[in-house]
Chain A
Amino acid sequence: MFRKDRSDEPIYWGLFGAGGMVVAIALPVIILATMGLTHSLTDTVMFGEIILSPLPSLVFISLMILCTWHALHRVYHTLHDLNVHVGTLHHLVIYGLAALISLAFIVCWAILVFKNIF
């Protein structure tokens, strides 16, 4: 997409690698946290407080974005492994989806911060 003389894979591979680390290290904690929400609203509020306050949520959504790119990179390659002849269309769709999800996170975060300041 960007370079004709060589593969752009380093970009996606970089994101995939970072995402992989996040999934391996951070995701277990987060999943455990969400599973703990049944106890009480207070937990929810507390969880909400963490992931909705501007600074921590900025960290949180960047983790989620990295996980998104990691997951969709794997989806792209697994399609290839399942003998689907992936072309530029698949590339656009899959990585476009990743960009979309990332954008959604950022927009939500922006709105939350925007609403709160004004």
Chain B
Amino acid sequence: MADKIKITVQRYRPEQDREPWDQSFEVEYTRETSLLEALNSIKDTQEPTLSFRWSCRMAICGSCGMMVNGVPKLACKTFLRDYAGQEMRIEPLANFPVERDLVVDLSDFIEKLERIKPYIIPKKGESQPGEQREYIQTPAQLEKYRQFSMCINCGICYAACPQYKLNKEFLGPAALTLIYRYNEDSRDGGKEERMKLVNQDTGVWSCSFVGYCSECCPKGVDPASAIQLGKVESAKDYLISMFKKKGE
């Protein structure tokens, strides 16, 4: 007989509710059941109006970020077996406005990803290789940014970051990581452009290295490390700019 677990989900319907309210469900599960499968079975059999984002169910698309007992996680990679004997409390991803039930407004996060010029900007005076040629990039050069290119844009690090909670202007872990990913790509020449954002108070300098973003990141991208590396780069940039004449 499959075990049972009580799951309390925070609901919010903008037309009817002034503020969120809780609704509890009883769900059967086996060793393989993920929270996403549980939510889908609740939606199919108990509460069809429950809304949440999901798609790939293999922790690669980044749709199903939500708070599980206060910890930001991907629903598809959270297993009920790890909560046996406890209750599960599911809330929408922290630090984002709640649109409806477990769906949050990620537009601030997505806008920040777009603001940082996340594309290869060819180096000045160096033309891109021809149509049938690639940039030469050794595995060592690839390794410098590879880990930071694994970000699936799920927004969990923004939910984990107290600095983003306190100051929504903060560019945030994922955006700063993406900047570092492109700055360190041997093919890119846009570092000077992107450092303008990094050097601001709302850039790397809002980070007080709590480190919880790296703790919660479901793909082990370690954004906290990217930000510290960003601070080192920004500090170097600050020093260099001191000696450069103002007029330059």
B199 touches A6 (CB 8 A): yes
Residues of A within 8 A of B234 (CB): 10
Bound Cα distance A14, B239 (Å):
11
Give the contacts of B167-211 with A (CB-CB under 8 A). Answer: 196, 199-201, 203, 205, 208
CB distance from B234 to the nearest CB of A (A): 6
Bound Cα distance A10, B238 (Å):
7
A7 touches B201 (CB 8 A): yes
Q: Is A80 positioned at the interface, with any CB of B under 8 Å from its CB? A: yes
Bound Cα distance A9, B206 (Å):
9
- Count residues of chain B with CB under 8 A from any CB of chain A: 15
Q: Is A38 positioned at the interface, with any CB of B under 8 Å from its CB? A: no
Residues of A within 8 A of B208 (CB): 77, 80-81
Consensus secondary structure, chain A interface: helix
A9 touches B162 (CB 8 A): no
Q: Is B166 positioned at the interface, with any CB of A under 8 Å from its CB? A: yes
B231 touches A80 (CB 8 A): no
B166 touches A7 (CB 8 A): no
Residues of B within 8 A of A9 (CB): 201, 205
CB distance from A17 to the nearest CB of B (A): 9
B205 touches A81 (CB 8 A): no
Bound Cα distance A80, B196 (Å):
24
Interface string of A97-108 (1 = CB under 8 A from B): 000000000000
Residues of B within 8 A of A5 (CB): 199
Q: Is A116 positioned at the interface, with any CB of B under 8 Å from its CB? A: no
Residues of A within 8 A of B241 (CB): 6
Q: Residues of B at under 8 Å CB distance from A?
A: 162, 166, 196, 199-201, 203, 205, 208, 231, 234-235, 238-239, 241
